[in-house]
Amino acid sequence: MVDVAIIGSGIAGLSAALEAKAKGKSVVVVSKNYPTQSQSSMAQGGINASLDPNDSVQAHIQDTLRSSQGLASKEVVEFVCNEAPQAIAWLDSLGTPFSRKEDKIALRRLGGAKAPRACYAQDYTGLKILHTLYDNCLKEGVEFLHERFLLNVIVEDNVAKGVTLLDIRTSQVEQLLAKAVVLATGGFGKIYGAFSTNGFGSYGEGLAAAMRAGAKLSDLEFVQFHPTALAKSAILISEAARGAGAKLIDSSGKRFCNELATRDELSRAIWQKLESGEKVFLDMRELGEEFIARELPQERKLAIIYEGIDPVKEPVPIRPAAHYSMGGIDVDIDGKSSIKALFACGECANAKLHGANRLGGNSLLETVVLGRRTGGAAAEIENEVAQKEYERTKIDRNFIKAVFGLPNQIDFMDRQEFLSKLLYNNVGIIREERAMKGVLSVIRQHQRELAFMGIRDKSPLYNTELVHFLEYGNIIELAEAMVVVAIQRNESRGAHFRKDYPEQNDAFKAHSIVWKEDGVLCADFKG
Ligand SMILES: Cc1cc2nc3c(=O)[nH]c(=O)nc-3n(C[C@H](O)[C@H](O)[C@H](O)COP(=O)(O)OP(=O)(O)OC[C@H]3O[C@@H](n4cnc5c(N)ncnc54)[C@H](O)[C@@H]3O)c2cc1C
C-alpha cells in the first residue's frame, strides 16, 4: 500500500509526484510505457508565463478567458496564470534547459496570445521538461511501475482504494492499493487514429476507467484540431513556426487567413479550403535557414523525414488534425473528482482552464501548475484502505482470462481504423446532427460486436495485441460519451462547430456532463 498512486508519467503525473513526495508521502508512478515515452515529450512550442516586460498576468488571464468562449473557470484561470512565472522558476531551478536570450529565458509568441509568452527549449520543450522531472523524481525516491496498464479504479462506497493493473510483461492482473489515486493518463486525441497529432498512448483510458468507476466527465465535445499537421502523417508542425512569421497559403500561393488567430478558427478556414479541393501549405521560407536551424530544428527534420520536403526551400503541405482534449474527468481546482480520494490532473482532467478552446502553451502550464497542486491535495488524504483482495481485482482477473478465450471473428484493428475516419469526418472540425447520429449507431454496433472480437496472439508474455484490444474497448466506451454530448450541444462554440447550429447560443453556456449509472450512460448540462 502506498500513500499516493499516480497513473501516468507525463509532465502532469511527474509534477504531482514531486509535490506529494515533498510532503513526505510514499509515491508510486504507474505507466503503460516509460516516462520518457509519454506524449508530453512531443510538446514543441512552449509553456506560457507572462515574463516579457510588455506582457502581464492580466493579459494572460484575458487571452485565456477570451479563447475559452465563456466556459473557463475564472478562479482556475487566475490561479494558473498567476502561478505561471513561479512554475517556470521551479522548472528552471530543477534544471530544465530553457532557450535563453541575453541571459533571460527566451519567449516566443503563439496563436491567440497578445504578447510573446511561451518559454521554450528550441522545439523540444516537452521532452526537456519531462527528462528534467524524471531525473528529479528518481533523485527524490519516487517509485516507478513501468509497463503496467490501468484497468480500473477500485472504489467502495464512492471512495477510491487503489487501482487494478495489467502487468504487460506477464498479462497478470495486480492490485495497487493507495490512500489517494491520481489519474494523469493524458488526453484522448488518438481516438482519431491517423488523423491525430497524438502519440499511441492517448486513447483516454483514464477517462474511461474513471467513468466506469462512477466519476463524472465534462466537456468531452471540445476536441481541439491543430491547424498545421503534416498532410501525409498528421505529425505536428508547431505554432512556433507561425508565431515566428510562417504563412499559410493555398494552392495558388495566396494567404487566406490571419496566421495567429485561434486554432479553431484556423482549422475551419483550412478545412474549408481542403473541402473545396485546394491544398494548403505552411510557408516557412522567409524565416531563413539559420533561424530554422536555431529555433525550429525538429520541425525541419520532421518535414524532411515524413513529408519529403525541406521547409527552408519549399512550402510544406498541411492539414488540421485532432490534437487536444479540452474536456476530461470533471475536477475542481485541487484535482478532486466526484469520487472521494480520486484525483485527476493534466490533459485527462477538466479543471476548466481552457473552456471551449485551449491556447497554445497553456497545456504544459496546466500540467505543471495544477499537477503540483493536485499532488499536494492528494498527499493530504487520510483514507482507510483494507488490505484485502477487492472484488474489482477478481472481476478484472476473470475478464483478462476471458479475453484470451474470445472468438476473434471480427478484427478489432479494422474496426478501430474505420471508426477513427468516421470520427474525423463527422465529429471533427465541422459537425452536424444527422452525421453524428450515424457515427453513434456505428459505435454502439462496435460495442455489441466486442464479444465477437478478441486476440490472435495467446501468449501471456508482452502481449501487445491484448493491450491494443483493451485500448480499443476504452475507445468505444469514451467515443460514445463524446458523440452523445456533441449531438446534444446544439450550438457552435470554440472547437465545437455545428453546421446546423452555426451560432453561439447562451442557453448552452454550460458544461456538458456524462457519467454512468449501473453501466448506463447519462448526460446533462450544468452551469
Ligand atoms: C505534438 C504535440 C505538441 C504539443 N505541443 C505543446 C506545446 O508546445 N505547449 C503546450 O502547452 N502543449 C502542447 N501539447 C499538449 C501537451 O503536450 C499535452 O497536453 C501534455 O503534455 C499532456 O501531459 P499529461 O501529463 O497530462 O499526459 P501525457 O504526457 O499524455 O502522459 C500520459 C501518461 O499516462 C500513461 N497512460 C495512459 N493510459 C494509460 C493506461 N491505461 N495505463 C497506464 N498508463 C497510462 C501514458 O503512458 C503516459 O505516461 C502538445 C501535444 C502534442 C501531441
Task: Note the pLDDT of residue 114.
Answer: 87
Residue 509: count of CB within 10 angstroms of its CB: 15
Q: Is 45 in the pocket of ligand 1 (CB under 6 A)?
A: yes
> In degrees rounded to 5, what are phi and psi of residue 380?
-80, -15
Which atom of ligand 1 approaches the CA of 239 most closely?
8
Residue 232 amino acid letter: K
Catalytic choice (60, 108, 226, 372): 226
For residue range 336-355, list pLDDT tens digits in order. Answer: 999 999 999 999 999 999 99
Read off the pLDDT band of 302 (50, 70, 90).
very high
Task: Note the pLDDT of residue 351.
Answer: 98
Q: Is 33 in the pocket of ligand 1 (CB under 6 A)?
A: yes
Task: Note the pLDDT of residue 364.
Answer: 98
Which atom of ligand 1 approaches the CA of 12 most closely?
25
Task: Note the pLDDT of residue 260.
Answer: 87
SS3 of 358-420: the string is CCCCHHHHHHHHHHHHHHHHHHCCCCCCCCCCCHHHHHHHHHHHHHHHCCCCCCHHHHHHHHH
Task: Note the pLDDT of residue 150.
Answer: 98
Task: Note the pLDDT of residue 111.
Answer: 81
Q: Is 13 in the pocket of ligand 1 (CB under 6 A)?
A: yes
Task: Note the pLDDT of residue 200.
Answer: 86
Q: Which of 7, 48, 331, 364 best tests ligand 1's pocket when mutated (most atoms within 8 Å of CB)?
A: 364
The reply to whether 226 belongs to the active site is yes
Task: Note the pLDDT of residue 177.
Answer: 98
Average pLDDT along the chain: 96
For residue range 63-119, list pLDDT tens digits in order. Answer: 999 999 999 999 999 999 999 999 999 999 999 999 999 889 999 998 888 899 999
Q: Is 375 in the pocket of ligand 1 (CB under 6 A)?
A: no
Task: Note the pLDDT of residue 201.
Answer: 84
Catalytic choice (108, 148, 242, 373): 242
Cβ-contact 208, 329 below 8 angstroms = no
Helix H or strand E segment including 316? strand 316-325
Q: What's the whole-number mean pLDDT along residues 288-295? A: 94
Nine-digit cell string for 206: 483514464
The reported pTM is 0.97
Read off the pLDDT band of 38 (50, 70, 90).
very high
Task: Look at 134 and 263; give whichever has higher pLDDT.
Answer: 134
Q: Which of 15, 38, 299 best tests ligand 1's pocket when mutated (most atoms within 8 Å of CB)?
A: 38
The reply to whether 100 belongs to the active site is no
Q: Which residue minimizes the CA distance to atom 18 of ligand 1?
A: 40
- pLDDT over 90 percentage in the chain: 95
Q: Is 9 in the pocket of ligand 1 (CB under 6 A)?
A: yes
Three-class DSSP category at 479: helix
Task: Note the pLDDT of residue 389.
Answer: 97
Q: Which residue minimizes the CA distance to atom 37 of ligand 1?
A: 185
- CB neighbour class for 38 (10 Å; exposed up to 12, middle 13-18, buried from 19): buried
Q: Is 12 in the pocket of ligand 1 (CB under 6 A)?
A: yes
Cβ-contact 65, 356 below 8 angstroms = no
